[in-house]
Amino acid sequence: MILSPAERSYLYDSLIQKPTIRPDSRAEHQMRPLEAKTSFLPGSNGSARIRLMDGSECIVSVKAKVVVAAKEANLIECDVDVVGFRDNSNFVSNLKFNLTNLLQQNFPSDYLRLTSKYSFKLFIDCIVISHSSYPLTLISLTSYLALKTTKLPLLVSETNDEEIAELPTFSDDWDNAKPIADYFKGKGKEFQPPIFITLGYVGSNLIFDPSVEEEQVLENGLIVTFYNNKVITPIANMNLAVNSNNSNFKGLNQTAIIKSIQMGNKFGGAIIRALDALIEQDDDNDAIF
């Protein structure tokens, strides 16, 4: 319990106002301010870190490995580590499942193909160093940044090894490595990894990216997937206040789902644009420590 009954009541009452009044004076579709840094882990193919004002911090590293495609069930593997939680706890397993499921279903892994036999496999490692609100959005946004900045070594051997096997060989110059996005451009497409947006449902209002205090009084929580400029499945509802019993929690009105899709479609693009702008603004100064 991080709020007293009086605080809860005050917060709840203000959130159900039309328009909603959020304690940090955000609009309903506004995310919390964040600070991001990309490509700072020298040993990784791609990396990103996001920090929020409340001290929440997540680091994601993407590594690529050459595999025989036929022998791999998936070309993407995620691992999530949350400080303070056991790796096999429900909390961590859920996060990991959500992220893995999202990327495996919505990541065009064809683009990782090297030759008819070989492919890259991506290993996405997420560490949540500290968090207050439910960290799935944080993780997914950081993964977005990390994947967008992931570079893959340049293949210099033949791509056609159907008839005569060749082991892939790569340019030894890391500067020749190409971002994943370049492989998409070749096919005239935009590379945009999927993200999760967390929405809080309270009264008849939907609020983006609820803070930990807001989570305490929500009537329900929604996880919405945004990919290729529109909301897609899975859309899930859950109690975001995982560590306390939320006495306000109740069933979900189906109109809330429709509304969440509408809001996702309306504002999701802005989130993506903001993230892309972050990458562009990121200077090449490596030092973060």
Partner 1 sequence: MIGQRKRLSSGLTVTSKVFVRSRNGGALKVVREHYLRNDIPCYSKACTKCQHILKADAQGNLPNFILSESPAKTKSGKRHYIVLDTNIILHAIDLLENNECFFDVIIPQTVLDEVKNRSYPIYQRVRGLVKSEDKRFVVFHNEYNEETYVNREKNESINDRNDRAIRKLVTWYDNHLNNENAAQKINIVFICNDADNRRKAISEKIDARSLTEYIEDLKNADDLRDLIPNETTNFATGENETSFPEYYNDSRIMAGVKNGTLYQGILNISPYNFLQGTVQTPAFKKPLLIIGTKHLNRAFNSDSVIVELLPKDKWKEPSSTIVEENAIGANDNAGDEDDDDISGSSGVISDKERVLLAQEAVKATSVAADDESRLQPTAKVVGISRRSWRYYVGQIAPTSVSAEDSGNASKNCFVILMDKVLPKIRIRTRKAKELLGQRIVVVVDSWSSNSRYPNGHYVRSLGEIESAEAETEALLLEHDVEYRPFSKNVLDCLPEEGANWTVPDIAGTSDPQLAKRKDLRDKLVCSIDPPNCVDIDDALHAKPLPNGNYEVGVHIADVTHFVKAGTALDQEGAARGTSVYLVDKRIDMLPMLLGTNLCSLKPYVDRFAFSVIWELDEDANIVNVNYMKSIIKSREAFSYERAQLRIDDPSQQDDLTKSMRILLKLSKKLKQKRLDAGALNLASPEVKVHMDSETSDPNEVEIKKLLETNSLVEEFMLFANISVARKIYDAYPQTAMLRRHAAPPSTNFENLNKMLSARKPGMAVSLESSRALADSLDRCVDANDPYFNTLLRIMSTRCMMAAEYFPSGSYGYPEFRHYGLAVDIYTHFTSPIRRYCDVVAHRQLAGAIGYENLDLSHRDKNKMDMIVRNINKRHRNAQFAGRASIEYYVGQVMRNNESEHEGYVIQCFNNGIVVLVPKFGVEGLIKLEMLGDVNSAEYNEDTYELTFVDLNKKKRTVAVFDKVKVDVKSVKDEVSGKRKAQLILK
- The residue ranges that bind partner 1 (CB under 8 A) are 42-45, 64-66, 118, 120, 152-153, 157-158, 161-177, 286-287
Cross-strand bridge partners of residue 51 = 35, 57
* Residue among 66 and 224 whose Cβ is closer to partner 1: 66
Tokens encoding 49: 């870190």
* Residue among 2 and 167 whose Cβ is closer to partner 1: 167
* Residue among 165 and 274 whose Cβ is closer to partner 1: 165
* Residue among 168 and 200 whose Cβ is closer to partner 1: 168
- Minimum Å gap between C-beta 163 and partner 1 is 4
Tokens encoding 16: 């159900």
Nearest CA to 137 out of 31, 44, 216, 214 is that of 31
Burial 39-62 (b: 16+ CB within 10 A, else e): bbbeebbbbbbbbbeeebbbbbbb
- Minimum Å gap between C-beta 62 and partner 1 is 11
- Minimum Å gap between C-beta 268 and partner 1 is 32
SS3 of residue 77 by DSSP:
strand
Residue 160, classified by CB atoms within 10 Å of its CB into exposed (0-12), middle (13-18) or buried (19+), is exposed
- Minimum Å gap between C-beta 276 and partner 1 is 22
Q: Going by C-beta distance under 8 Å and a sequence separation of 6 or more, which residues neighbour residue 117?
A: 68, 69, 70, 161, 162, 165
* Residue among 251 and 284 whose Cβ is closer to partner 1: 284
Place of tokens 């996001």: 50
* Residue among 12 and 120 whose Cβ is closer to partner 1: 120
Place of tokens 């009264």: 203
Do 22 and 207 meet the contact criterion of CB atoms below 8 Å apart? yes
- Minimum Å gap between C-beta 152 and partner 1 is 8
- Minimum Å gap between C-beta 22 and partner 1 is 42
Helix axes 136-148, 254-281, angle to 10 degrees: 40
